Structure 1
Amino acid sequence: MNIGVDIGGTNMRAGIELGGSITSQSNVLLENKDSLSSTLTQLMDLIRPYTKYPVKGIGIGVPSVVNVDKGIVYNVMNIPSWEEVALRDLVEKEFNLPVSINNDVNCFTLGEHRFGAAKKFRSVVGMAIGTGLGSGVIINNELYPGNNCGAGEIGMLPYRDSILENYVCNRFFEDTLGMDAFDAHEAAIKGDSKVIKIWEEFGGHLGVVIKTIMYTYDPEAIILGGSLTKAHKFFKSSMLDSLKDFAYPESIKRLTLLLSENENIALLGAAALMDQ
């Protein structure tokens, strides 16, 4: 039994992992994000009720670069006051429990590997597609964060006039349609042909990301998560079509593509950090 914590740019969630499920959870909207002390107080207050259970430790996923060995987080996305925070030491001191910290998409990927759709695979890359594009990597059943917790940041690679992320996240729809991906999904459902075409274009760009992952990691499976995957039916065909020119077609035939279906998978993955 572990506590899992998922920190986002607008809210934080915490819950208890027991037997591969989240048995209890709560969330809090982040307030006064320019104040380190205020946000840390919110975090501690969120975690505190769960420490009354006989937990082994606390795992925390953070949208940032993390010094995993020292438990320090840097430049946390959308929390300006978290430029450099020795988060592990602060939380351990507060609750006298062991704490492990990692990038949030690494936690998502670890959760899918330990408890979700990817648990039967030895090598997996998880992709979270939403406000940005993040990836986590499992190699030989172990999470591979890289030296700076930056392994799998495929979205930062140069692409066209920018980087891959800008073509495979919410920003793509804002730039091409002047609306966010949620509204673009709603418009596609209503049959807007212009918007449907943009989703198909999006699928082509996503296919480029998948091919890049295959050339660099060659995993058994890739699992897609994040808010944009809810529109999967509008980009699936073009995504698969874009894989047809992959240099090693037999590798694509053996690749398993999965969709994340557990809304608590990031919490489960954060909790699983304690068993790494």
Structure 2
Amino acid sequence: MEKEVQTIIGVDIGGTKMKAGKVVGAHVGETAFAKVNGHDSQEKTLSTVFSVIDEIFCDAVEGIGIGVPAVVDPESGVVYDVQNIPAWKEVPLKKLIRQRYQVPVFINNDANCFALGERYFGKGKDHSNYVAISLGTGMGMGIVIAGKLYNGVLCGAGEVGMLPYKNSIMEHYTGSFFFEDAYGEPAKSLYKKALDKDIKAISAFKEYGVHLGEAIKAILYLFAPESIILGGSISNAYPFFKEPLYEALDSFAYPKQLENFKIETSDLADSPILGAAALCL
């Protein structure tokens, strides 16, 4: 007799909102949302986490995976220094969730969840060694080596966005910071203008592509991946920055390495939830 398809809850905790989804196989079914107030106490934010899980939890659930934008000890499940939730300095999240729901609980950095979600449900299924980059407010990154997620110490591997670059750090040129600082508008509104063939907006994404190309060169030198998978809201604008990005790779020292190298965009819907759920797999 075949084993029944697993039912897992994936939870994506962000700085302004959180979302939980019931994942059955590769399908996200019932979901729950809540706003996050960065000024709330640790207890109140935990209560919000419980509320979104409570809304969709049932006896069929076999595990809970949680992605957080922070430093995490994946073994103990302790979350440290969540930047957008200052009250979360050292939270034993795994222990608290497991005590409440009595199922296995897995916790990791949100960028690592994105990488793992691609491994099980997305374009990472076609590669053994790849890097997944989430382009949003900042630049998050997860690394898969020989088919396995590489965490590093406290899930800190892959923080290429923190490398020194120009007069700041790489993330300030590869996340939405860049568009707001250089063009006075968020990436989302510039993307809409670029779709309407606005010259200034198109120029913004061309410049952005050069900076992201420099980040990808650093990743190539560090990890030599088969593929880089782009996700996050800014990846929607990939057609507008693809050409300058590849032009930036022209100066990469080992062109042979690029012959079969791919840069792809994720096509997963609900990738944060699927990624968190993938921790249980």
TM class by shorter-chain length? Answer: over 0.9
Which of these residues, 9, 13, 26, is aligned with residue 7 of structure 1? 13
Aligned twin of 1:137: 143
Which of these residues, 167, 182, 187, is aligned with residue 176 of structure 1? 182
Matches of 1:49 and 1:30 in 2, distance apart?
16
Aligned twin of 2:224: 218
Q: Deviations over 1:90-139 (max 9, x none)?
A: 11111111111000010011001111122111111000001000100001
Shift of 1:192: 2.5
Which of these residues, 106, 121, 125, is aligned with residue 119 of structure 1? 125
Aligned twin of 2:53: 47
The answer as to 2:118 corresponding to 1:109 is no
User: Is the Cα contact below 8 Å between 1:243 and 1:252 reproduced in 2?
Assistant: no
Matches of 1:37 and 1:19 in 2, distance apart?
33
Aligned twin of 1:191: 197
The answer as to 2:258 corresponding to 1:247 is no
Q: What amino acid is the match of 1:43?
A: V
User: Is the Cα contact below 8 Å between 1:32 and 1:38 reproduced in 2?
Assistant: no
User: Is the Cα contact below 8 Å between 1:184 and 1:195 reproduced in 2?
Assistant: yes
The answer as to 2:259 corresponding to 1:257 is no
Identity %: 44
The answer as to 2:240 corresponding to 1:234 is yes
- 4+ aligned runs moved over 6 Å, structure 1: none
**1:37-116 counterparts in 2 under 5 A?**
37-116=43-122
Matches of 1:178 and 1:156 in 2, distance apart?
23
Q: Alignment partner of 2:140: what SS?
A: strand
Q: Alignment partner of 1:151: what SS?
A: coil
User: Is the Cα contact below 8 Å between 2:210 and 2:244 reproduced in 1?
Assistant: yes
Number of residue equivalences? 275
Shift of 1:61: 0.3
Shift of 1:188: 1.9
Shift of 1:32: 6.4
User: Is the Cα contact below 8 Å between 1:107 and 1:273 reproduced in 2?
Assistant: yes
Shift of 1:143: 0.6
32 and 62 in structure 1: CA distance in 2 versus 1, 3 angstrom threshold = closer
Gaps of 5+ in 2: 1-6
Q: What amino acid is the match of 1:181?
A: A
Greater alpha carbon shift after TM alignment, 138-147 vs 16-25: 16-25
The answer as to 2:162 corresponding to 1:156 is yes
Shift of 1:212: 0.9
Shift of 1:49: 3.2
Q: What amino acid is the match of 2:229?
A: I
The answer as to 2:267 corresponding to 1:272 is no
TM-score (norm 2): 0.94
Matches of 2:249 and 2:71 in 1, distance apart?
30
Q: What amino acid is the match of 2:87?
A: S
